[in-house]
Amino acid sequence: MNDSKTYVTRPWLPPLSEFLPYLEEIWRNKTLTNNGPFHQRFEAALCEHLGVEHVSLFCNGTIALVTALQALGIEGEVITTPYSFVATVHSLVWNRIEPVFVDIDPHSCNLDPRAIEAAITPRTTAILPVHCYGTPCAVDEIQAVADRHGLRVLYDAAHAFGVRQHGRSLLAHGDMSVLSFHATKVFQTFEGGAVICRDARSKAQVDYLKNFGFANEVTVVATGINGKMSEVNAAFGLLQLEHVDQALALRAAVDARYREQLALVEGVHCLPRAPVDTDNHAYFPVLVTAGETVRDRVYAYLRQHGVFARRYFYPLISDFPMYRNLPSAAPERLPVARSVAQQILCLPIFPDLPLDKVDEICRLLALALESRHAA
C-alpha cells in the first residue's frame, strides 16, 4: 500500500499564472475591499452563472447566515435540522434565536417536511433547512408549510452551489439562500460566502448589514456587521468560475466510479442522488449499514491506510453540549438523524482524485468490512 494521504477533499486551484494578472490589477488600482471592481464583477458573474438575480457576497458562509437572519427579522424559534455542519445552528444562537430540531428524511437526509408542522409553536417565525450534500430539500412542501403558518424560509445552501432542478436554480427557493465558498466546498474562494435574495430591496438590506449598516458616507441605517468579501477573494472567485464546470465534470466521473465499484460491496449503501438537472457531486456519502461500531472501525481502517474519510455529520448538532438540553434535542425525537449519523461516512471526492485511487479506496472499504466478518 502506498503511504500518500488522501483527504476527503482537496481544493481545485487554477494555474497560478492565471491568477497573477488579477493580482496585478488589484495592485494597480489599489482598491482592496468595500465593493470594489472585482467584487462587482464577481457578483454579476455569479448571478449569471447560477441563474439568480440578486447575490450579496460575504467573507464567509457563517456571517452570511447570521446576517440573512438579521435581514429577515427572524426571532423567537426557528425549526432546523440536527444533521448539518454546526454553523447552521450557531447562526441562530448568534441572533438569540432558539433552535427547534426536527428529524430528517432517511433518503434525502434533509428536514422531513411532515415533521415540521408538528414542531410549530406561536413563537416560531421561520424554517432553516439545509440542502445536505447538495441534495434538494422538499422545497414545495416546505414552502407550503411556511405559507400556511406565515413563516420565513432561509435555506442553508452551503453544499448546493450550482445545483439546478426543474429548470431553475435550487437557490431561487425560500426567502433567501446562503452559500459558502470555504476552501473545502465545491466552489471556493479560500474563505467566502453569499446570500441569494429574491429582490433588490432585500439585497440592499443585506448589503447595508454586511457593511456596518452604512447606506452612504454619513447615514447608518442598521446595526450592521463587517461581512464584506475582499477584492482578492472576489478576483479569485471570478477566475474560479471559469474552471468550475470542468471541476464538476471531473467530480461526476469520481462519483460514477464509486457507484460502479461499490455496487458489489456488501455492507455499504451509496446514498442515491435525487433527480436534478445539474448536480455538483460535492460529497460522496455512504452508509455502513452494520452501524456505528463497524462504521468507526472502517473509518479507522481507512485512516491507517492513508484515506481520511469523514463522518459528516456525526455527532448530530443536537448532541453538542450547548444544544443537548433543548427539549427538541431529545434523542427519541430524532431517530432517523441519529441512525444516519451512526452509519454515515463521506468518502474522498475532488476533481483530480485519480480513478484508480477510487478503486483502491473501494477495495480498502471492502477489506475493512470483510475483516469485520473475520473478527
182 makes contact with ligand PLP (CB under 6 A): yes
Subset of 214-273 contacting ligand PLP (CB under 6 A): none
156 makes contact with ligand PLP (CB under 6 A): yes
Q: Are 156 and 88 in contact (CB under 8 A)?
A: yes
Residues contacting residue 3 through CB under 8 Å, at least 6 positions apart: 306
158 makes contact with ligand PLP (CB under 6 A): yes
**DSSP SS3 for 126:** strand
Subset of 37-66 contacting ligand PLP (CB under 6 A): 60-62
Q: Encode 257-268 in three state secondary structure.
A: HHHHHHCCCCCE
50 or 368: CB nearest ligand PLP: 50
Minimum CB distance to ligand PLP, residue 265 (Å): 27
Q: In angstroms, rounded to a whole number, what is the distance separating the alpha carbons of residues 121 and 82?
A: 18
Q: In angstroms, rounded to a whole number, what is the distance separating the alpha carbons of residues 146 and 117?
A: 9
Q: In angstroms, rounded to a whole number, what is the distance separating the alpha carbons of residues 313 and 374?
A: 29
338 makes contact with ligand PLP (CB under 6 A): no
156 or 207: CB nearest ligand PLP: 156
Minimum CB distance to ligand PLP, residue 24 (Å): 28
Q: Binding-site residue total for ligand PLP (CB under 6 A)?
A: 14
111 or 158: CB nearest ligand PLP: 158
Minimum CB distance to ligand PLP, residue 155 (Å): 10
Residues contacting residue 220 through CB under 8 Å, at least 6 positions apart: 212, 213, 214
Minimum CB distance to ligand PLP, residue 83 (Å): 10
For the chain, the 3-state helix, strand and coil shares in percent, each to the nearest 5, are 45, 15, 40
286 makes contact with ligand PLP (CB under 6 A): no
60 or 318: CB nearest ligand PLP: 60
In 3D space, the residue among 120, 151, 122, 130 whose CA is nearest the CA of residue 80 turns out to be 130
143 or 177: CB nearest ligand PLP: 177
Minimum CB distance to ligand PLP, residue 312 (Å): 8
Q: In angstroms, rounded to a whole number, what is the distance separating the alpha carbons of residues 195 and 60?
A: 10
84 or 125: CB nearest ligand PLP: 84
Residues contacting residue 231 through CB under 8 Å, at least 6 positions apart: 26, 31, 32, 33, 36, 37, 38, 39
Other CB atoms within a 10 A radius of the CB of residue 357 amount to 17
Q: What is the DSSP string of 47-68?
A: HHHHT-SEEEEES-HHHHHHHH
Minimum CB distance to ligand PLP, residue 356 (Å): 29
The stretch near ligand PLP (CB under 6 A) out of 146-154, 155-163, 200-208, 232-240 is 155-163
Q: What is the DSSP string of 299-337?
A: HHHHHHTTEE-B-TT-S-GGGSTTTTTSGGG-GGG-HHH
**Out of 108, 180, 230, 343, the residue judged to bind ligand PLP by CB under 6 A:** 180
130 makes contact with ligand PLP (CB under 6 A): yes
**Out of 99, 136, 162, 193, the residue judged to bind ligand PLP by CB under 6 A:** 193
What mask, x for binding ligand PLP by CB under 6 A, covers residues 72 to 101? ------------xx-xx-------------
In 3D space, the residue among 98, 138, 122 whose CA is nearest the CA of residue 323 turns out to be 98
Q: Which residues bind ligand PLP (CB under 6 A)?
A: 60-62, 84-85, 87-88, 130, 156, 158-159, 180, 182, 193
